[in-house]
Copies of this chain bind each other. A is one copy, B any other.
Amino acid sequence: MFDSPPSGAGTRARLVSSMVNLLQRRGLVGAGLTEILHDAEAPKGVLYYHFPGGKVELAIAAIEASVDWLVGALDDTLAKFDDPLDAFEHWIAKSGRRLTRTTFERGCPLAAVSLESSPHDKAMRAALAKAFATLRDRLASALVSHGYPHSEADGAAALLVAAYEGGLMQARVAGSIYPLMTACSTLVTLLRARRALTVS
Contact residues of A with B, CB < 8 Å?
Answer: 25-27, 29-30, 103-105, 107, 111-112, 114-119, 125, 128-129, 132-133, 136, 152, 154-156, 158-159, 161-167, 169-170, 172-175, 179, 182-187, 189-191, 193-194, 197
Contact = CB atoms under 8 A, between A and B. Distances in A.
8 contacts: A107-B115, A129-B175, A158-B167, A159-B184, A162-B167, A162-B179, A164-B166, A190-B194
B27 A172 contact: no
A105 B133 contact: no
Q: How many copies of this protein are present in the complex?
A: 4
Contacts of A115: 27, 107, 111-112, 115, 169, 172
A138 to B, nearest CB: 14
Nearest to A24: B115
A163 B174 contact: no
A162 B190 CA distance: 15
B158 A182 contact: yes
Nearest to A112: B115
A34 to B, nearest CB: 10
A197 B119 CA distance: 43
